[in-house]
Amino acid sequence: MPNCALRTKIVEWLPVLGMLCVVSLALSFGGVAFAAEGDPYGGNVQYREMFPADSTFGFLNSRVIIWVLAQLHLLFAAFVLAVPMLVIVLECWGHFAVSDPVEKKKWDDLAYEFARLMTTAFSITSILGAILTFCLIGLYPQLMNYLVEVFGPTMYLYATMFFGESFSLYLYYYGWHKLKKNVHIFLGVMLNVFGVTLMLVANAWTTFMMAPAGLAENGAVIDRVAAFNNFLLHPINIHRLIANICMGGSVAGAYAAYRWLSTTDPAKRAHYDWMGYIGNLIAVVALLVLPFAGYYLGYEIYMFNQQLGIYMMGGILSWLFVMQAVLIGALFLAANYYLWLGMDRIEGAERYSGWIKWLLSVITVCVLVWATPKSMQVFMTSAEVTAIGGTNHPIFGLLGVMSAKNTAVNLMILTTFLSFILYRRGNLEATVPWAKTGKMVQAALFGIGAGVVIFIGVGGYIPELWLESTKRVAMSPYQVLAVLVVIVAVFTIDVMLFKNAKKVGRIRWGEVSARSQYTLIFLAVSFTWLMALMGFVRSSLRQHWHVYEVLEDTSVTAFTPAVGYATVVVSVCVMLFFALVGMVVWIAELGSHDDHDHDHDEDHAVAK
């Protein structure tokens, strides 16, 4: 129908027109502000402000403007990086791993529905990136001149990769039902290659500002390759890639939850329940390894410069890590809660309902240990500090060190994995002759893994073992290794154990509590807020430097903001992000209505 197609095109351009209006207004106000400062046009200006400090919008200083724009751009970039990964995995699974034609179409339709979110989100990401670039050039001209000198060639590479990603994304989406499946999958793979390359290039710019390399003593560029491949590039690459997958999967799950909550049609609820489960599954799988990537990044920051590590974990930023701990604990609780609620839709899963209280107990204790700070000074009066003999509580202070926290997070990961294993076998009964032995081996692996984690953690308090900090740090990777071995070994056994298993009941997709859908939305918001919070921490490590110990920040905002102020700005970024995501979902819904109208017209034509 021409009207539907026209309406879709108009709606797709609405965010573009809105963003252009914002840019035009910002540049107009900015032009007035620049003129008011009396700076010579083309002069050697270091900093500019878009709004005069004594004006109505004076609170929007250059730092806040760049902070909000950069955070929104990074959040949308994470989303448009993760969703294509999710889509290509679903499409390949349906095409190569599923033989039944009905099931093939089911997986293909699921992948296509997730893909609907990509086009508008990509446009918003691009527009935010353009606004950010223009504002950086206008507000921080000297910094941008320096970065162009260092990374000029890679900026051309970035532009080329961006063109490749744009071309492949739109061809991939609009050619979904028109291209041969193998060609279409190849386009999806190339889309992800371009997207990951873009992330790697941008990460080099970011990590160079934290860990500069390839420079002379005066800050001049002498080795662009070393500047690009700096000390923190690969830790950030690993951590950000996993975090992006977490966030993308959780936001996709929240989209499905919204669709589930907004319909009463049982068939649609079944579809969106399954869709939300798939999105959340990918997010939780990435969550299981995300703490390891975070520890690796923190370890590398310490290795590069101990002062950065101490400032991060022992200074003002340490309280943000307490907030991070609370958020991560809430994420693990919510992820398990969703799995436990999901057992209600599985006939036969009631066999494992008795496990939930024990799993909840373990996770609760681990979350409390994980969130316990080493110093209680902020929570106590001076009299209370005197009463306990210092800022460290004689008992709870022991839980504030990394031996306890490493142990707690590894046990949370094992417990979450056990919840998934119980969910997975909810309506299945093993029929292989070695079923009893296999389950005993799995139980033994869980016990041995937990024992190793606890033993290494307790050993961090014993002088005869590894109380000394260097030894304690050296032992922590073995906790990670033990958990990873358990996950791989148990899951491998589980796949073989329940191959061709007997089904004792069916999965009633859609017949689940609304609380499970609100949990999916909570997970998406928490992931996003956590990413924005940790983005502030990473940026603040540079303190009063644009490029650490190379290019100093001499502006009036060259200081670390208070924790309360930072969390307010982070929260505003998250609210703006989800407002824009809401617009993306609205446009995706309009597109789905047009597809339905198109299918109805085809069916009507065939009937004639």
Q: How far apart are CA 575 and CA 568, in angstroms?
A: 11
Instruction: Please tell me the predicted confidence (pLDDT) of residue 414.
Output: 92
pTM of the model: 0.84
Instruction: Please tell me the predicted confidence (pLDDT) of residue 591.
Output: 59
**DSSP E strands, 385-465:** 428-429
Q: How far apart are CA 79 and CA 569, in angstroms?
A: 20
**DSSP E strands, 401-559:** 428-429, 502-503, 545-547, 551-552
Instruction: Please tell me the predicted confidence (pLDDT) of residue 185.
Output: 92
Q: Is 389 left (phi over 0), alpha (psi -120 to 50) or beta?
A: left
Position of tokens 């949990």?
519
Residue numbers of the chain with a pLDDT score lower than 70: 1-43, 314-315, 374-382, 384-397, 467, 469, 588, 591-608
Beta bridge partners of 346: 507
Instruction: Please tell me the predicted confidence (pLDDT) of residue 203.
Output: 92
CA distances from 32 to 24, 37, 135, 446 (A): 13, 9, 14, 65
Q: Is 304 left (phi over 0), alpha (psi -120 to 50) or beta?
A: alpha
Instruction: Please tell me the predicted confidence (pLDDT) of residue 204.
Output: 93
How big is the CA angle at 63 (ends 59 and 66), to the nearest 5 degrees?
Answer: 110
Beta bridge partners of 221: 215
Q: What is the SS3 assignment for 45?
A: coil
